[in-house]
Amino acid sequence: MSVRDYIRERFFPHIWCPGCGHGTVLNNMLRAVDEQGIRKNDIVMVSGIGCSSRISGYVDFHTLHTLHGRALAFATGVKLSQPELTLIVPMGDGDCLAIGGNHFIHACRRNIDMTAIIMNNRIYGMTGGQFSPLSGFGIQATTSPYTNIDQAFEIVEMAKASGATFVARTTSYHVQEIASFISQAIQHKGFSVVEILSPCPTHFGRKNRLGDAVDMLEFLKQNTAKLGSKKAEDNPEAITRGIMVQRELPEYCREYERIIDKAQKG
């Protein structure tokens, strides 16, 4: 198969703005799936609402386009009923960590075998550029014209603290890392989180005078550093990329089946 076999071409061209990083995420997510040779009927993609969640409309998998912030809850139900399936859950920063924040914490805690892909563009892009839980202090948005005073969540630290057993971060500039990290996340038997910094030139970039899409990609190139690299050592303020957590813990569905078996025998 090829990457094109995994998409619904009749729904193209996509709705994302020029320069949006989400198309790059879609491309490399499909490369990761194709690399592993996963059958389309063995994949379920569950998404909520937002720019990032539109991905489920473009892939030729089993898909659920659900309620805002509830993608992980729906995905948990699918995985418990059909544990042999591969679950992929694309989300945005608001979808995952605003209304969906509680679901995210508990999905990490349960260590249920699915992959959460969080496209972090630091803004509510679909609804007009309001600030999100990941926007950060001092940024401008349509709902913070005099700058935002909320501190931002740190996805990697939150995922680690909540118990996720695979946690990685990269950017839309580092395309090979996207495919590699998603591939490893899918293979991991437990709850996997892949944060991808994804530029939004239309709202975040324009409001904060960060230039065009090329300028925003250049920023991601210059201001991120690979975990353990000399660049990371020399630039402590750089955003770290890499696999931050990779450990084995009992997986939820397997433990649930064990409890059922024990109850039936008892």
Quick: pLDDT tens for 139-153. Answer: 999 999 999 999 999
Q: Tell me what the mean pLDDT of segment 46-57 comes to.
A: 92
Q: Average pLDDT, whole number, for the chain?
A: 94
For residue 196, what pLDDT is reported? 97
Q: What distance in Å separates the CA atoms of residue 117 and residue 23, rounded to the nearest whole number?
A: 13
Query: Which pTM was predicted?
Result: 0.94
230 pLDDT exceeds 90?
Answer: yes
For residue 129, what pLDDT is reported? 87
Quick: pLDDT tens for 94-129. Answer: 889 998 999 999 999 999 999 999 999 999 988 888
For residue 231, what pLDDT is reported? 93
For residue 4, what pLDDT is reported? 83
| pLDDT tier at 252, thresholds 50, 70, 90 | very high
Q: Tell me what the mean pLDDT of segment 198-208 comes to.
A: 94
Assess if CATH 3.40.50.620 describes domain 3-265. Answer: no
For residue 94, what pLDDT is reported? 83
| pLDDT tier at 3, thresholds 50, 70, 90 | confident
208 pLDDT exceeds 80?
Answer: yes
For residue 126, what pLDDT is reported? 85
For residue 95, what pLDDT is reported? 87
266 pLDDT exceeds 90?
Answer: no
Domain locations in the chain? 3-265
Q: Tell me what the mean pLDDT of segment 148-175 comes to.
A: 96
